[in-house]
Amino acid sequence: MVSRIKNKKIAFFMLPLLTQGAGAEKYFIEAAKNLADQGVPSEVITLNEKSFRTFARIVHILTHGNFFGKIDISGRESEANVVKRLGRAKWRKISWKNLGTVLSKYDVIYSKNELVDLFTLKKIGYGKLPPVVVGVHTPIYYPITDTTLSKIHNLLYLGYLYKFLLKGVSCIHLSNKFTKELVDRHFKIKSSLIYYPFSSKLILASAKENRYKTEFPKNRINIVFVSRLADQKGIDILGRVVDNLAQDPEITSKIKINIFGSGDEKNENIVKNLAKKYSFVKYFGHVENKLIPNILSRQDLFITTAKWETLPFNVLESQAVGLPVIAFDIPGPNDIIRNGKTGILVKTKDEGGFLKAIKDFVSSQHLFAKKDIIGHIDRKFNPEKIYSDLTKLFENTIKNSK
């Protein structure tokens, strides 16, 4: 299938710099690399540093009222590491002014689905661009809306504005079943469900190659939380769960909760305070993405308190090394985890159920076989099949645009 589009140029387009290191950035890097390795000219197009700084300022003004405060755009990954991971694929950083000219030279554009990305393409004009496939990497619907911003998000993404921005695109790529059904109900546009490709062999190889030097206690059950420290990831919920765990010294004497990640000041402070209050909690801060597989491979349980996701890489990576996961039963995690087989899905918003799931695991009431967890990931997220589906999507998009 790839051979049919080897002479076609694919642009993976998003506004943020790839060094930001979030899930969408990981997907763009891996997808572009894989296609380029198979001979398909693939490039990731983002803003350059100057334009991205302007973009970041606008976002900070709208979301935080930050008109003049310092903004750090350095991200979580080094540029050298991003370039290495891209392999034969290229990363081109473009100014706002030249985006239209650059993007018009490709055969198909794969774009991130956020409002700002789609607004940029809409402003250039879909008619002036090659066919656009929109990949949903930011959820269209947030299942837990406990903030004003999350409620506004749902109104915007399910309303007229988003329909207007999507009018003119060729197809929407979804990575979980719930969003596929949602899009089919609310938008009159072609859609395709294709999971993220994921190879346990590559993740396990990375775990051996890139070792994190810190040791973890061998006489404790190591429970790991790896995530951006943001409202989306339910850091407030994590804090309450840990506070409640602390009321059971029999459990806490058996565990160590290892927290990795960085984020906004409010959520970092929640985590730092947990580490100060409780000896069974340790906060490590940010680590590079390449070290995460090794960290995960040396843990006993992964927990995520995320309130919304698309198809979370931290859950995929954990399962790919055979690590059981406890998560809320929300879109994304429930596409990955086989409840009771490879992890535990807790009823949404049920913090008591989340606490019980951790306690049950520590008390050995839930036993999981590492080989079964890895086997499930290898079957469901098989890279060969998924990349075949993705290239077929690009081929059909190009063909149907003529």
Q: Give the C-alpha distances (Å, rounded to integers) separating 61 from 69, 92, 282.
A: 10, 27, 33
Closest to 232 in 3D by CA, of 326, 136, 141, 306: 306
Residues 159 and 254 occupy one common structural domain: no
The position carrying tokens 């890279």 is: 383
Number of H helices, E strands in the chain: 18, 13
Residues 182 and 89 occupy one common structural domain: yes
Q: Which residues of the chain have pLDDT under 50?
A: none
Q: How many structural domains comprise the chain?
A: 2
Residues 308 and 371 occupy one common structural domain: yes
DSSP state of 11: E
Residues 370 and 388 occupy one common structural domain: no
pLDDT at 149: 87
Residues 25 and 151 occupy one common structural domain: yes
Residues 25 and 38 occupy one common structural domain: yes
**Region of 277 on the Ramachandran plot (φ > 0 left; ψ -120 to 50 alpha; else beta):** alpha
- pTM, two decimals, is 0.91
- For residues 211 and 245, the answer to whether their CB atoms sit within 8 Å is no
Residues 193 and 269 occupy one common structural domain: no
Q: Give the C-alpha distances (Å, rounded to integers) separating 343 from 202, 246, 264, 284, 315.
A: 22, 23, 29, 24, 10
Residues 285 and 345 occupy one common structural domain: yes
The CA dihedral of 331, 112, 37, 387, to the nearest 10 degrees, is: 40
Euclidean distance between CA atoms 191 and 22, whole angstroms: 24
pLDDT at 146: 87
Q: Which CATH number is 41's domain given? A: 3.40.50.2000
The position carrying tokens 């695991």 is: 361
Residues 193 and 279 occupy one common structural domain: no
Residues 254 and 370 occupy one common structural domain: yes
Residues 110 and 249 occupy one common structural domain: no
List pLDDT tens digits, range 384-399.
Answer: 999 999 999 999 999 9
pLDDT at 215: 96
- For residues 318 and 328, the answer to whether their CB atoms sit within 8 Å is no
Residues 184 and 282 occupy one common structural domain: no
List pLDDT tens digits, range 261-316.
Answer: 999 999 999 999 999 999 999 999 999 889 999 999 999 999 999 999 999 999 99
Enclosing domain of residue 322: 200-380
